[in-house]
Each structure stands twice: as C-alpha cells, then as structure tokens.
Structure 1
C-alpha cells in the first residue's frame, strides 16, 4: 500500500471517491420517478416554490435537500438524485470514521466502509430521491462526531459534542426514525463514562445530556423555517408545535395492506425485498430491487452474535458497542407504532451490520487471518452478480428477473 494510503484521511477520501463514482454512474437511468420518488419529488417542487405544505407526515429537511439538488441540476433525474449520492458517500466515509476512531486501525475501518458499499442497500438508496438516505448520512456522521469528541481535549470535546448533537437533530429533521439515536447517544455517554470517567474528558454527564437534547431539538425545529414563508397555510411560532402532533397522527394512521409490506422481525432475514422498479423504461426492461446482500445481511447477524458472546466473555466495550448499535437500531422497530412495515425501514440497521462485521474480524484477527479479504471478495462477487437489478441495467425481457430470485418471497 502506498505510504499516503497508510493514513486515515487519504484512505477514507479514496474510498469515498470510489463510492461516489459508483453511486453516480448512470444515475439518470431511469428517467422516470421511481417508487417513493412519486411522493418526495413533487413535495420538493412545492417546497422549492414555497407554495404550501405537502407530504406533511415527514419533516422538511430531506425534501429541502432534494429541492436543492433540483435547484442546482434542474428538475430532472440528475437533480432529483444527485444529493442522494452524496448522502450515500457520507454514510460510507462515516462508517470508516466510526471504525477508525473506535479501533484505531485502518484495516477494519476500510473493510467496514467497503462492506457498506457492497451491502446493496446503501447503493440502491444512494440512487433514489428518498428521505432515508439523508437521514442515515446525518446519523452516521453524528455518531462519528460524538465518538471524535471522546478524543478531544479542552473545548474540542464540547465543540465536537455540540456538532454531533446538531447532526442528530438534522437527521431527525429528515425522518423521525432518527430520533431514538439521540437517546442512544445519551445512554452511551452514561454507560461509557461510568466505566471510564476519563472518556470525553471535561464533559460532565448532566450538562452534556442537557446540551445534547437542547441542541438536537433546536436544530430540528429550525429546519421548519421555510414553512414560515409558504404562500398557503404558512407555519408560525404558535402553530409549529401543534403541527408536530398533526405529523404524528399522519404517521400512525392505519394504512391499507401493501404487496411489499413485511413484519419488522423478518427484515434481518432478507425475506421480503421491494421492487422499486420493474417495467419497460428508457427503451429496455429494467428493474431496481431493494434487497440486502446475503453475505452481509446473514454474515452480519453472525458477527453481531459473535460480538455479544465476545463482550460477555471479555467485557470489551468495542464488541459491546458494535453489537448494541445494531440491536438498538433494530429493536426500536418493535415499538414504533407504524401500521405497515417495509424492508427499507431496515436501512440504518443494515449499515450497522458492516460495523459489527469489521469489529468481529478485527477482534479475532489472529484466529481468522485473511478471512476478512475472502469475505469482501464474496460480498463484491454478489454485488457484481446482482448489479443489473440494483442499478436498472437493461434486462433481456419480462421474465429476466427470475435469474436473481433465490426465494419465492423475493419475486
């Protein structure tokens, strides 16, 4: 490896560049709105014009970012999706940062970032104008920033902690499912400071928790500023908080059954993916399937279990944190009051699997040797195999999808 790439920043930037080029390649295909783009692109158009409220069950920020892409690149497929690719790249680099800060080793940091790229879910979400990609980008970078604060000294600790709180507030301003991660950050602070008070040196628990909550909430509320300038039904300081209750009622309304719905407990099994597209478009039969890479989805569960067992035996906080991140991110879905569930709700937990895999390989590196490289080869081999139905490549005909249908529930 060149000497330059033995340093974390150049290596992270190189991996990020690779991810961005991969996500952006043929981004404008298909030239039609795909899956939930039919909701969010019109909402972004309306937000761009400050015409009035639209898609009110979700906060504004992710739709504002889609609108920003349209403002820069035009109201077309490039404008709809351009900033989503940056959000996906942010996730990749953010995972690298979390692993580097947590383990202090380049090999697991690079492996985790590459596993995210090969995991299918980030690739697909980075190429569509949906809310989840932006939400995940802010959550991952927020987690990295809070971890970075642990390495700070003096005022650095507070500045980085505040930056992390801002990022988590922005994540919640994209989609409410990020809100539990603010609580997770507070729990992590309490537990880790209890074990070793020198972590986040100079950061007292009670003021830090108060600051985390206050900054994240204030950041979230500030993102509603454009709604104060709507031509129709503008928000005001008096209606801002009641509007949150309106959003909540929209979130918990009972919806009719959907062909792609699936219960939350089934998502780690990769049992019911979602066809975002399967039709003749741009002169060819094309498909986009949101499915998890089987090597990452199922191998990640093995890694989480191994981290739990390893933590019980050694109390290594790195193993416990890697397992706890996935367990917490997945378990919250058992309590979120949604009438329907979909596999794309598993997006953030699918990212945490890459961290568990990298941490497990690193912890048992003497015993496992070069098996991490073999795992990455398998993951990218599957990525190449599934690429045509991840990236809307031309297919041979209407029944071409059967080549990739490992299970009847995938069709």
Structure 2
C-alpha cells in the first residue's frame, strides 16, 4: 500500500510574518516629508473635498481611491500620516496577495515566500506604499482579485461562488480606483475559460456563461455603487441621469492631449528601467531629500529573463503556472500599448512590476533546480540593492544637492 503524499505546509505563519515585515517597513517614517509629494497635490485635496462632500474634484478618476485617502484622514488626521496610512495597508495587501497567488497556484511554500519577499524588495511597491496616490489602491484590489479567483478555483459549492463573487467585487473596486484596471476583468473571464477547459475539476459544477455573467455584472455594479458619495455633494451633486454621461466626461479628461513633461516616457522603456521619476528632490524637513520611483534593477531585469523562461517552459511542458505567469505580465504591458494616452510615465508600470516577482518565483521553482540556493542568492542580491537605494526611496536626509549622483547609474535616471 502506497503512502499518502505529504500534506503541504501551512502557509499562514509565513504569510503573517511577511505581512508584518511589509507593514512595518512601509510604515517606518512614512510621515517624512511633511509636505505633499508629487501627485499627492491632486489626490489629497480631492480626498478632502470628498470627505467634506463639498464639490467634485479630480473628476478624471473614479472615487474609491480618493475615498480611501479620505478615510485615512478621518482616522489619523489631515497630516502626512492620515494622507498615507491606508497606502501602506494597500502595499501590504499587494505583498500578501502575491504570496496567496503563488501559494494557490503552486501549493508550495518556497515560491510563495520568494515571490512575496521580491515584491517587498522591488522598490516600486515600497515607494507607492508611502505616497497618497490611486495606483497603490488599484494594484491592491487587482492582486487580491486574482488571488480570490484562484481561491474560488479550489472550492466547491456555495464557497466557490462566494469567493468568485468576492473576486468580482475586488476587480470592480480596482476599476473604481483607476480605469486601467478594467482590462483585468476581461482577462479574468478569459483565464477562467482557459483554465476550466484544460481541467474539468477546476470550478466544478460552475456554468461558464453564468459565471462570466456574474463576474461582469457584479464588477460593474460594484463600480457604479462607489459613486454614491457624489450624489451628496453640496455643489454640483451627481444625479442618476448624469451617472452614465459622467463616464464620458471622465474619458474625455483622461484622453486629452497634454503638454510634454520632463519625466514622460514610452511604455516600451518601462521594463528596462530606463526613465524613472523623481517624486521628490528638494530641501524638505530641514534636509535635502529625494524619492525616486524606480524598479529594483535585479528584479526588473531578472524578471524579464524569468518571463522568457516561463514562456519557453510553457511551450515545452504546458505547465499552467509557467504559462499563466508569463501571459499575465505580457498582458499587463500590452494594455499600455493599446491605451490612448498622450503621455506615459514609469509609475504606470507599477502593476506590471508586481507580476515580475511571480514570474521569478515560478521560474526558480520550475527551472532553477540546478542552481542550488539560486533563489536565495537572488533575494539576497535584491536586498543588497534595496539597502543601497533606500535613502532615495524613503526620503532620508542626504548630504547635499548633488547626492543623487551616487544612485543615478545612467543619465536617464537623473
């Protein structure tokens, strides 16, 4: 009689430890600088207006991201902690979501831990977790929505449907932060059809047409529900008759032609880390400080190799995890090739940068077994660069105005 295969290790202790590490790291000195940074000048005033229900502000974007900033202000006060507190939570949610995706996709603890740690160390999540912008909330809802979708795949009956509806709600909330999350709803439907076709035991008993209808209906309903506060503005309140036409106004605002910007860049340059953005570089709080929105070169450049390895591995072996991780990143880049934006900026790459640690973890697990301790060495090298770049990621005090030259490896990083 054959012995039963060993049960997979319990993921919760590792997940909670990594989540606590992420939240501590993101929260440490988050109030510095004590001034609005980069696009906080748009979103914090909009959150104040939403909190007070005075009048529409920052009308080119939906409400839920600004509402979450307003909740932070309500809880902690109208100062830097209130502006940024829930962004740190969103950053931790991204890390935990990556852990969950890898755990649910592989049922192995090692790739889940590796992917989550690389997410923390990939600079972009750290920087976005410490600033009051919409992208951090949007990414958190997308990542958690993908995790909930995979969680539903492993359930049966009512639990499967509850998790599926939860995934739809999360994706609807992501779109209610920024419209750039909308393609992920369609991608979720496509992924569902492909995964279910490949193995009938996934989402057992779930009618595909009905499931996609629920996904679409619930996500759209969630999106429109988030406009409820706008009906109560003291000036220019939204009405039912204006709700749909207002979406067209938002589209016109988002697709307007904008003047050139110092830090603009093409989507094709983002994966190579060619043109990061200085969110801050000026005297603040009594010292020269800087915040550079940049990707960890080890994770970004290594992640591109991992995407290629996963794509080739899928062609050779038809391994679902490899193919899914490669396609997820490629899809995230293709979105920006199609979106009609007059200007592009590196921070648009934020969500794509989150998928790279997933590809790296899968590549090390599937194809890196000949490299003993290769994943550990990769995490260690990523951590060394994180420590090196930390002063211009966390706005620590710098020696002087020319201090940036220590970290700007290329002229395009200046």
TM bucket normalised to smaller: over 0.9
Distance in 2 (CA, whole Å) between partners of 1:261 and 1:161 is 38
User: 1:6 deviation in Å?
Assistant: 4.9
Match of 2:263 among 225, 248, 260: 260
Shift of 1:87: 0.1
Moved more, 195-204 or 224-233: 195-204
Which residue of the partner structure matches residue 404 of structure 1? 407
Shift of 1:128: 0.1
Determine if the alignment matches structure 1 residue 158 to structure 2 residue 161: yes
Aligned to 1:215, which of 214, 218, 239? 218
Match of 1:294 in 2: 297
**Take 1:382 and 1:350, find their aligned partners in 2: how far apart are those partners?**
16
Kindly report which structure 2 residues correspond to 1:130-149, keeping only aligned pairs within 5 A, or say none: 130-149=133-152
Task: Name which of 371, 375, 382 aligns with 1:372.
Answer: 375
Cα distance in 2 for residues equivalent to 1:213 and 1:354: 28
* Distance in 1 (alpha carbons) for counterparts of 2:392 and 2:9: 35
List aligned pairs for 1:359-398, cutoff 5 A.
359-398=362-401
Q: Tell me if 1:321 matches 2:324.
A: yes
Matches of 2:259 and 2:369, distance apart in 1: 52
Report the CA distance between 1:223 and its aligned residue: 0.2
1:344-359 matches, within 5 Å, as 344-359=347-362
Structure 1 residue ranges (4+ consecutive) displaced by more than 2 angstroms after TM superposition: none
Which position in structure 2 is the counterpart of 1:128?
131
Please name the residue that 1:284 is paired with: 287
Partners of 2:195 and 2:132 lie apart in 1 by 37
Matched, 1:341 2:344: yes
2:68 paired residue number: 65
Q: What SS is found at the alignment partner of 2:12?
A: helix
> What is the CA deviation profile of residues 122-153 of structure 1, one whole-angstrom value per residue up to 9, with x for unaligned ones?
00000000000000000000000000001101
Q: Secondary structure at the match of 1:368?
A: coil
Instruction: Specify the SS of the correspondent of 1:111.
Output: helix
Q: What is the root-mean-square deviation of aligned Cα atoms in Å? A: 0.9
The correspondence of residues 29-48 of structure 1 with structure 2, limited to 5 A, is 29-48=32-51
CA contact (8 A) 1:169 1:216 kept: yes
Distance apart, 1:368 and its partner CA: 2.1
Aligned residues: 407
Q: Please tell me whether the aligned partners of residues 157 and 202 of structure 1 are also in contact (alpha carbons under 8 angstroms).
A: no
Partner of 2:4: none
Distance, in Å, in 2 between the alignment partners of 1:369 and 1:220 is 47
Matches within 5 A, 1:6-45: 6-45=9-48
Counterparts of 1:352 and 1:197, CA distance in 2: 27
Deviations 1:226-253 (A, max 9, x none): 0000001111111100000000000000
Give the match for residue 105 of structure 1. Answer: 108
Q: Give CA deviations for 1:94-136 in whole Å, capped at 9, x if unaligned.
A: 0000000000000000000000000000000000000000000
Distance 1:143 1:331 in 2: 18
Name the structure 2 match of 1:248: 251
* Aligned counterpart, 2:52: 49
Shift of 1:323: 0.2
Distance 2:411 2:383 in 1: 24
- SS in structure 1 opposite 2:290? strand
Shift of residue 7, structure 1, vs aligned partner: 2.1
Cα displacement (A) at 1:156: 1.0
1:272 aligns with 2:275: yes
| 2:168 maps to 1:172 | no
Shift of 1:197: 1.9
Question: Aligned partners of 1:31 and 1:50: how far apart in 2?
Answer: 25
Please state whether the residue corresponding to 2:206 is helix, strand or coil.
coil
- Stretches of structure 2 lacking an aligned partner (at least 5 in a row): 1-7
Q: 1:95 aligns with which of 98, 111, 132?
A: 98
Cα pair 1:98 1:144 within 8 Å, conserved: yes
Distance 1:69 1:332 in 2: 31
